[in-house]
Structure 1
Amino acid sequence: MIALSLAEIADITGGRTHDIPDPSVTVTGSVVIDSREVEPGGLFAAFAGEHVDGHDYAERAAAAGAVAVLAARPVGVPAVVVPDVEAALGALARAVVGRLGTDVVALTGSAGKTSTKDLIAQVLQNHAPTVWTPGSLNNEIGLPLTALKATEDTRHLVLEMGARGIGHITYLTGLTPPRIGLVLNVGTAHIGEFGGREQIAQAKGELVEALPTAAEGGVAVLNADDPLVRAMSSRTQARTVLFGEADDADVRASEVRMTPQGQPSFTLHTPTGCSDVTLRLYGEHHVSNALAAAAVAHVLGMSVDEIATALSGAGTLSRWRMEVTERADGVTVVNDAYNANPESMRAALRALAAMGGAARAKGGRTWAVLGRMAELGDESLAEHDAVGRLAVRLNVSKLVAVGGREASWLQLGAYNEGSWGEESVLVSDAQAAVDLLRSELRPGDVVLVKASRSVGLERVALALLEGEGEVAGR
């Protein structure tokens, strides 16, 4: 974070200093919400959570070197006491970003946000100092914490924005007003909470509504292949840049093909020329993510060759998202267990199918270890059934459905599509899945593990990799 005195922080947040002998003392380190992450010169923001109250760790934070605590009440150590810590954190982020004048790139979408954000970050950091959202910390707390990592040297600030309802993105864009807004897609993630795709589109489109006008430098980067996203051009006064495989896309791909290992390769076209790209990532769905990243980089002045080189060298930054590891015995584990929705589940299955050719050449099989997709509301049965059917259509060798009711719907879909033998099986929990896989896997097999975060299926992947050293994409 840029250096700010405690007096300035109190003024920005509407707070008052407490137990601070010298309000001119400056915060020079990071702002954190976990006392174990405090560094000398930093600021500890104390949140009262459901199970843990950060105020109880104020003394520990001070002992670790925190200059002060951002708190809702006096805590016995130097503190800026505010009416609402979350609101204060947001106000601090807004003030810091405003002072820096950094180019803010915000992105949202139903699927692929984190993977695309990681691609954008890796491409842009080849261009200029870049700060980006770690993992998927894309909410009212994670977003300002990311913004506060920016310093005077930061030129690009890349922020992932999530939404669980109308107005959420409007709030986030108020904290860190973007100049460039990217909308990836409108799918069915959280459809049970939103009520329908039209409502999801309404929420995601709040991002382009928050952009400056074209004359002020605002740019909306929109997916030309998603009708609901393309239509958002009417909701903004910013300049529109389209990406996708559509012929009229400003940034598009042609000659899309897959390597035998399941990695996409294509020719990237931008208004300034074309260049070949071969991604290190797995699955054809990453072509759209790469085009989105390329469109943002193009808007920010990178050449097509610079973009193509950076995309071809980019890897996976965030854990448990198509994280591919080959064991010593030749079994490949694809850990995509961070989260799941119907779109990302279908994309992962297609990626597994693409990897199947190389697996069969080595005498191996493809395994899909799948669990519940959460927050689908009335669409849950149909969506789980459809995923089970897709696994059969893609000739996945074996489906292992893990868990209760929703897992049974996955298996039922596979059964109704024609999986009548031992191609699909329902197991009760992650440990049962591990036991089954350990007894049946053979060299050359490829195992995909995927479910909503609440299911915790990463335990299956980690158990299969136990003793294999550091988990890392090859």
Structure 2
Amino acid sequence: MMVYASMVRPDVVVVTSIASDHIKHMLSLDDTAREKALMLQGLRPGGTAVLNGDDPRVLAMRASSPSSITYGFGRDHQVRCVEALLDWPQGTRLTVDVDGQRVIVRSRLLGKVMVYPMLAALAVSRVLGLDRQAVVQRLEAVEPVPGRLHPVLLARGAAILRDDHKASAESFAAAFDLLEDIPAQRRLVLLGDIHEPQGDVDGLYRELALPLARICDGAYLMGDAFRCWLSGLIAGGLPRDRIVCLRDLREASERLRDDLRPGDVVLIKGPSKKRLERVAFALAGRLVPCTLDHCEAMNLDCDRCGGRDNPHRRSLGERERGEEFTPEILDAVEHSLWRRYNDRVVSDFLTPHLTSQRSLVLKTDVFEEALGHRSYPQALAKEASLVGMDLSRVVLQEARKRVPQIHLVRADVRRIPLGTSTLMGVVSTSTLDHFSDPWDLKNALAEIARVLRPGGSLLLTLDNPWNPLLALRNAIPHRLRLLFRLTPYYVGITCDPNQIVGALEEVGFEVCEMRALLHVPRSLVGLWGQFSRGTGLNGLDDPLLRWLSWAEAMARWPTRWLTGQYIAVRAERNP
């Protein structure tokens, strides 16, 4: 530290605390204090040390500086916090005494531990003679840093307190203190390991767990030291049936997603290398598909990491399909009678709602546009700006040729490259039933909810698993379906009517309308199409299409969920 002090020769040195961060490089906290005190020896003549007077080791550094001021909660400090009132989740209201003058700071930061850096800033402004009101305005504009006592509000009324960036023992204690002050129906914790614990490790975990057991209503434990947390929490009186031991991040996300209720607050706390932030992203409906259990990336959070483009988690079934769509597949699908029937019926469902849209609308794949069927985009283009996305390069290339007026982008529906609340409409026609994992479908719905404004509409179609013919088809392995030409592309999981309503409500939608579409079996339509082409009776296709459209009256029958191929849903984003 002395080398840096002689290089910088500072006018002001701020010492915030002496804690166990980087303790493995020091023999003890006293050694850390002695090392930091060397910076004060590098002060220029007339320089000032700004010291946290509530930390005894820092306060002792006054002897190393001819000029110093202290800050904290104690009465003897020149900059003193008189009152700190938590306003969850907006921030903290501070009343600060600076040389006898009261200053009010309405900070967006949370917790007593975040009061100290604000006091330090006010102390530095005093030393430098800065305009105090301007400093207060700057302090009030500071937002929580992601992963450091950062509140995240969820659509279902619960909230997350993210503190997953650092994991020293002191930071655990500070997070638990804040959790105790938060008004909540239930206070829950997801805990990882303490970073670089020293001395009696079991005793350290026990010391933190005993008061936590009184504060929290349930605990979810991960990491190598989960047994230490477990024994301490039980010793502190938390019932064993309220403690869940988890294997990995995915299990943590799924369990918390199921357990969280409106009014709950869950603290997510652990070392950054364990990437507990992914649990927060999953609960908030965001997706980071990386599956690493341990990551050494420094100063790079999961949200900005290239791992989100992991090829092992590609959209639209490309991982399972093993290849992109090809022009030959598109050509075969384009000329099928089933495709014409499909597009006519789905367009009849979409068009009344599309024409009412008057702002930016997203289509989550452009398969129809690549085939040249433009009934959907033409309806949209009348009164809205249409953005189309797809993960397949071939599909995008064909769509650009045929519908050049639409703005197209290559993107994953689980990671839509648009800001939050930017759209009033999303059209998703058989996009989300090409995943192999329900987790992906749920994350895609959550991502769609994120980009929609309150009151925005989602028009969605999915395969109907209650249709026995469809269920039989989907039970056949993908390679056999390709061999017998049942489907030219990968078909994945889907949701039944009850499940899709639940999944939509979970991410903040209200279902306004749901119906069954396409009541004539695909196999019958396909056989007629092959027959008409082989016998030259193609002229009968148009009358047949009219008859097929009349068959949609079956949507009003009690058996509609047994005959319909698709579930069609119109849902609105809740405020």
Give me the TM-score of the superposition, normalised by structure 2. 0.48
For residue 220 of structure 2, the aligned residue among 396, 400, 409 is: 400
Is 1:350 equivalent to 2:174 in the alignment? no
Equivalent residue number for residue 2 of structure 2:
170
Is 1:179 equivalent to 2:11 in the alignment? yes
Q: Deviations over 1:391-431 (max 9, x none)?
A: 113x2111212112x22211211111111332322222222
Deviation at 1:286, TM superposition (A): 1.6
Equivalent residue number for residue 326 of structure 1:
153
Instruction: Judge conservation of contact 1:193–1:375 (CA < 8 Å) in 2.
Output: no
Letter in 1 for 2:13: G
Deviation at 1:260, TM superposition (A): 4.9
Letter in 2 for 1:418: G
Counterparts of 1:192 and 1:399 in 2: how far apart (Å)? 29
Equivalent residue number for residue 276 of structure 2:
457
Kindly report which structure 2 residues correspond to 1:94-113, keeping only aligned pairs within 5 A, or say none: none
Kindly report which structure 2 residues correspond to 1:412-427, keeping only aligned pairs within 5 A, or say none: 412-427=231-246
Letter in 1 for 2:55: D
SS of equivalent residue, structure 2 residue 161: strand
Kindly report which structure 2 residues correspond to 1:70-469, keeping only aligned pairs within 5 A, or say none: 169-214=1-46, 218-237=47-66, 239-261=67-89, 263-271=91-99, 273-316=101-144, 318-355=145-182, 357=183, 359-360=184-185, 365-393=186-214, 395-404=215-224, 406-465=225-284, 466=286, 467=446, 469=450
Q: Deviations over 1:38-91 (max 9, x none)?
A: xxxxxxxxxxxxxxxxxxxxxxxxxxxxxxxxxxxxxxxxxxxxxxxxxxxxxx
**Runs in 1 of length 4+ with deviation above 4 angstroms?**
none
Letter in 1 for 2:83: E
Counterparts of 1:203 and 1:294 in 2: how far apart (Å)? 25
Deviation at 1:335, TM superposition (A): 1.8
Instruction: Judge conservation of contact 1:224–1:242 (CA < 8 Å) in 2.
Output: yes
Structure 1: which 5+ runs fail to align?
1-168
Deviation at 1:276, TM superposition (A): 1.4
Bigger CA radius of gyration: 2
Deviation at 1:234, TM superposition (A): 1.0
SS of equivalent residue, structure 2 residue 241: coil
Counterparts of 2:272 and 2:223 in 1: how far apart (Å)? 13
Instruction: Judge conservation of contact 2:5–2:41 (CA < 8 Å) in 1.
Output: no
Identity %: 27
Counterparts of 1:193 and 1:409 in 2: how far apart (Å)? 25
Counterparts of 1:171 and 1:438 in 2: how far apart (Å)? 50
Counterparts of 2:52 and 2:173 in 1: how far apart (Å)? 19
Aligned length: 289
Q: Which has the higher contact order (CA 8 A, sep 6+)?
A: 1
Deviation at 1:319, TM superposition (A): 2.8
Cα 1:211/1:226, change in 2 over 3 Å: same
Deviation at 1:175, TM superposition (A): 4.4
Cα 1:382/1:175, change in 2 over 3 Å: farther
Cα 1:170/1:461, change in 2 over 3 Å: farther
Letter in 1 for 2:195: A
SS of equivalent residue, structure 1 residue 422: helix
Give me the TM-score of the superposition, normalised by structure 1. 0.57
Cα 1:295/1:379, change in 2 over 3 Å: farther
